[in-house]
Structure 1
Amino acid sequence: MSSLFDQPADDGPGGPAVDPGAPLAVRMRPRSLDEVVGQQHLLGPRAPLRRLVEGDEPMSLVLHGPPGTGKTTLAHVVSLATKRQFVQLSALDAGVKEVRAVITAAKRELTYAGRRTVLFIDEVHRFSKTQQDSLLSAVEDRIVSLVAATTENPFFSVVSPLLSRSLVLSLQPLADDDVRALLHRALTSERGLDGAVTLAPEAEEHLVRIAGGDGRKALTALESGAGAARSAGGTVIDLATLETAVAQAAVRYDRQGDQHYDVASALIKSVRGSDVDAALHYLARMVEAGEDPRFIARRLVISASEDVGMADPTALQTAVAAAQAVALIGMPEGHFPLAHAVVHLATAPKSNAVTVAIGESVADVRAGLAGPVPPGLRDAHYAGARKLGHGTTYRYPHDSPEGIVPQQYPPDALVGRDYYRPTSRGAEGPIAARLGKLRAILRRRGA
């Protein structure tokens, strides 16, 4: 299970002071690894993060995961657990100058106080290559322990030298039960709402749903609902109050990041799997996120041939028509023909026989299985071609009552090889029956 926060921790003395005016998500931030639960692949007894923290080893980490899964929290916990100086920069407003200033201060702290510095850089993917390169020597010499957070795939957004000097850890979205535990903790903790309000069951379910695995979003929505309840003179956050305070869940989809590819992949795989409802969901996410409709249309055109193929030859026509319609009318109305295409493709019979056929034929060509074109098929229109024997043995199919005659079409090395093997699904059933007859005639002995 992927969660972030445990049941209420001791809020007694000894913990860091909490600003009562800080956002609820900040006030409820765990203070130690023991308060952080879930992410067991990182925090279990023998997991890498726990070993690094409890061993107080010099370390640099790249924390990768969706918003609200605890990247900033883990950075603070690392600093507190290891008793190191903690410095935070945001890649949105920090540059090489600020990075060098932190490194200079870290050198001084290490030299005179013997204390290492944890440098936390949020949204490190927004740093340019030059800015990331400015960290290399300090990380290499362990002057700072870098904890870099990113919502992007670090193997695409972080320079290789920095990755090679860091441990890359991936965080997962919170599970629903863990979001509930987080809400219960915030409702009762002295650092949170301290029992001032209660949460109705249906409102809790709505909060869990709109959080979408994002702990920060859940706490922010809870705080807003609590404020609305108090303003109305009540102590219960019911569904109506919560819906007033929280209009809707924000679409978690950065179309410039790797989620762009994740959601697109989910759309096509749902179409391939014939789950029309899931496919429409992912289409809606892409549309609401402002995805380029031409990108969506291109993926659907590809899917029509790759996944539906000859099981329903009209699927490609629908996908192409949707692409043309989107280009003609634009958005937002363009989402109608896109939905039309998604429904057609998802509910159509599926066959990848065309995909397999062209894949195998290309593989044979690349493997050198080509050979000369049979003489009867060679161009015989130029002067001297007949003297070379080009076209002299060619038999014209239309002269046959059946429109097909036995003769060799492939090169010698590929005679008898079947690339296209139609399924029995949809329109490919009749094609399969006819194809067997065609091949029997074409390959008749003595052809």
Structure 2
Amino acid sequence: MPRPKVPDTDLFDAALAEQLRAEAPLADRLRPTVWQDFVGQKEVIGSGTPLRQLIEQDQVPSLIFWGPPGSGKTTLARLIAKLTRSDFIQLPAVASGLADLRQVVARASDRRKLHQTRTILFIDEIHRWNKAQQDALLPHVENGTVTLIGATTENPSFEVISALLSRCRVIIIKALAPEDIESILQRALKDKEYGFGKIKVEGATQAIKHLAIMASGDARVALNTLELAVKASLKDNQSVITDELIKQSLQRTHLVYDKGGEEHFNLISALHKSMRGSNPDAAFY
């Protein structure tokens, strides 16, 4: 009796990944996979910049991306892994620990020995790892078993141990400009595979201009708001989005704030300066 054919694991994994992407929120579906689709951060990865040259030469050092939410830290890490043909492993700091790190190191060591493939370990919110966890990273970063890319919204000088900082390059990722957000939203409306390119969306031009400003540099907030607005008004494969609908979908402008961190003092400083400048609107904002 012939044995049943075992499905190709790679094909199965690829199909599953594609299904998960199709069901993901718009912000995740539209995550760029090529340089041409990556918007913003020209000072960091624009043509001719040191980091861009290192990426193109496949000589990426360990990095710490420091910037606000929705500015492209995770996307940039994924792009680097793809363009350098590295194995990419992502660990969320809030849900991982030393046991997970040991598994990653074992896998990275095997791939390095058997396939001569480097491993990029991306730790999201690395500031949430304690000193012992960060200490455990040191030997593996130093000997090249893994190339670390950490992402943080907190000042790494305060939250990342000095020994690890000395082995990494800190890259400042800035909040996206309104024109960058607008470009991303336009792509979402035109993309027929993962965006709304197959839907007739009316009133979008003016609405996304306002949304690009109201999102305060956060592409994820902008895309999720657009998705909610389009789906809320969708009827017979048509959608009409207005400024009012965008405001209702967003609910409020998005201010970056952390109770005990740097942004707390930045906002206090902004309040004081607004009051000293006799600008009540700015102070109230």
- TM-score by length of structure 1 reads 0.57
Alignment correspondent of 2:208: 204
Question: CA contact under 8 A between 1:69 and 1:171: conserved in structure 2?
Answer: yes
Choose from 81, 84, 93 the match for 1:82: 84
> CA shift at 1:156, angstroms?
0.8
Question: CA contact under 8 A between 1:100 and 1:134: conserved in structure 2?
Answer: no
* 1:262-341 equivalent positions in 2, closer than 5 A: 262-281=266-285
Look up the SS of the partner of 2:101 in the other structure: helix
Look up the SS of the partner of 2:189 in the other structure: helix
Alignment correspondent of 1:105: 107
Q: Which has the larger radius of gyration?
A: 1
Alignment correspondent of 2:197: 194
Unpaired stretches in structure 2, ≥5 consecutive residues = 1-16
Question: Structure 2 vs 1, CA of residues 173 and 58 (structure 1 numbering), >3 Å: closer, same or farther?
Answer: closer
> CA shift at 1:199, angstroms?
5.0
Question: Structure 2 vs 1, CA of residues 231 and 121 (structure 1 numbering), >3 Å: closer, same or farther?
Answer: farther
Look up the SS of the partner of 1:105 in the other structure: helix
* 1:149-298 equivalent positions in 2, closer than 5 A: 149-190=151-192, 191-200=194-203, 201-230=205-234, 234-281=238-285
Look up the SS of the partner of 2:94 in the other structure: coil
Identity of aligned residues (%): 41
Please tell me whether residue 20 in structure 1 is matched to residue 22 in structure 2. yes
> CA shift at 1:247, angstroms?
2.5
Question: CA contact under 8 A between 1:187 and 1:197: conserved in structure 2?
Answer: no
Distance in 1 between residues matched to 2:231 and 2:207, nearest whole Å? 14
> CA shift at 1:206, angstroms?
3.4
| Structure 1 residue identity aligned to 2:93 | A
Question: Structure 2 vs 1, CA of residues 197 and 67 (structure 1 numbering), >3 Å: closer, same or farther?
Answer: farther
Look up the SS of the partner of 1:83 in the other structure: coil
> CA shift at 1:77, angstroms?
0.3
Distance in 2 between residues matched to 1:279 and 1:120, nearest whole Å? 38
Question: CA contact under 8 A between 2:32 and 2:75: conserved in structure 1?
Answer: yes
Equivalenced residue count is 266
Alignment correspondent of 1:418: none
> CA shift at 1:222, angstroms?
0.6
Question: CA contact under 8 A between 2:199 and 2:238: conserved in structure 1?
Answer: no
- TM-score by length of structure 2 reads 0.87
Distance in 2 between residues matched to 1:58 and 1:249, nearest whole Å? 36
Question: CA contact under 8 A between 1:106 and 1:143: conserved in structure 2?
Answer: yes
| Structure 1 residue identity aligned to 2:68 | P
| Structure 2 residue identity aligned to 1:95 | G
> CA shift at 1:107, angstroms?
0.6
Distance in 2 between residues matched to 1:241 and 1:232, nearest whole Å? 18
Return the structure number with greater relative CO, CA threshold 8 A, min gap 6. 2
More strand by share: 2
